[in-house]
Structure 1
């Protein structure tokens, strides 16, 4: 396989499975900033070891396994932090790993994407700002010229709207053969 084809295949696979891998990382790491750092390290490791990936096998499962080892490496670096989960808890989570690559999770992510597409630009902008790592609600309120409470209430309304939209979409897909 030529290097250009390998680059293209890797880019396609990483884009296709990024959400599943990031979901796994976020489920195992308490802070967004740390999860982002682990995602970056995982992406580098995936590229460096892409020649070991068996073409035609489950890329998502392979990438999540690589992420798992990157999480373990990260935990060793920050092992004294009180925010780190115990090994028993992590072993329990390990058994739940399949949920992140399951069809149901993929359907929920697809429904969320569709619901976000149907939301307004203003709603998407607020959510983007609200979930941006290291962004304070006070900063958002100041930029939007409103109170912190107004920001929280707006985000709560958007979440509720998205939750209902996702439930409707999932219910409609279950009814469709």
Structure 2
């Protein structure tokens, strides 16, 4: 039955889209936590979005969308990991994922606060320090290659990264304390 003939279904779809949209950041973080090192987290999120849309009639309004969607994510990623394993990829065991996944289900508001604090703290760094962090955590290229490009030793860059991580952690902790948010 289409939404034009049944206004209740349109309301359910609208509420569902709202829930789906509001949980994208948390869902992506959950996927990344369950598939560390995977460059395809956003692709997996899109696959999950399609599955969630197809299963939207199974979602009961008034219940936790996050819990329901995270369960769908777990099953989808188990199947995805099985496909990777069949191709010879080294992956987490399903049992391990089931044991650690409840700890990864952080509150979306808390994730957003962390994200905002990190963004603010990163903006306070010098451009060359942000570039080093970007290279280390986003490019996937070896640190030695970057060291050659900027004419510094890899050891110096490792020490700089250590200091940057410490400074970011302290900055984020200060932001949390200023906002009265308990530290994770």
TM-score over 0.5 for the pair: yes
Separation in 2, partners of 1:165, 1:124: 15
Q: What is the TM-score when the length of structure 1 is the normalising length? A: 0.70
Separation in 2, partners of 1:136, 1:85: 24
Structure-2 change in CA distance of 1:95 and 1:139 (3 Å): same
Separation in 2, partners of 1:56, 1:127: 41
Cross-structure match for 1:168: 174
Q: Confirm or deny that 1:91 pairs with 2:95.
A: no
Separation in 2, partners of 1:145, 1:56: 57
Between Structure 1 and Structure 2, whose CA radius of gyration is higher?
2
Structure-2 change in CA distance of 1:167 and 1:85 (3 Å): same
Equivalent residue pairs, number: 171
Q: Confirm or deny that 1:137 pairs with 2:137.
A: no
Asked if the contact 2:78–2:94 (Cα under 8 Å) also holds between the matched residues in 1, the reply is: no
Shift of 1:117: 1.9
Give unmatched runs, 5+ long, in structure 2: 4-12
What value does the CA root-mean-square deviation take over the aligned residues? 3.6
Shift of 1:148: 1.0
Separation in 1, partners of 2:62, 2:140: 39
Q: Confirm or deny that 1:149 pairs with 2:155.
A: yes
Asked if the contact 1:127–1:155 (Cα under 8 Å) also holds between the matched residues in 2, the reply is: yes
Q: Confirm or deny that 1:77 pairs with 2:83.
A: yes
Q: What is the TM-score when the length of structure 2 is the normalising length? A: 0.68
Separation in 2, partners of 1:118, 1:50: 42
Give unmatched runs, 5+ long, in structure 1: none
Separation in 2, partners of 1:116, 1:51: 41
Asked if the contact 1:129–1:140 (Cα under 8 Å) also holds between the matched residues in 2, the reply is: yes
Shift of 1:28: 1.1
Shift of 1:84: 2.4
Structure-2 change in CA distance of 1:94 and 1:141 (3 Å): same
Shift of 1:172: 1.3
Separation in 1, partners of 2:158, 2:177: 28
Shift of 1:132: 1.9
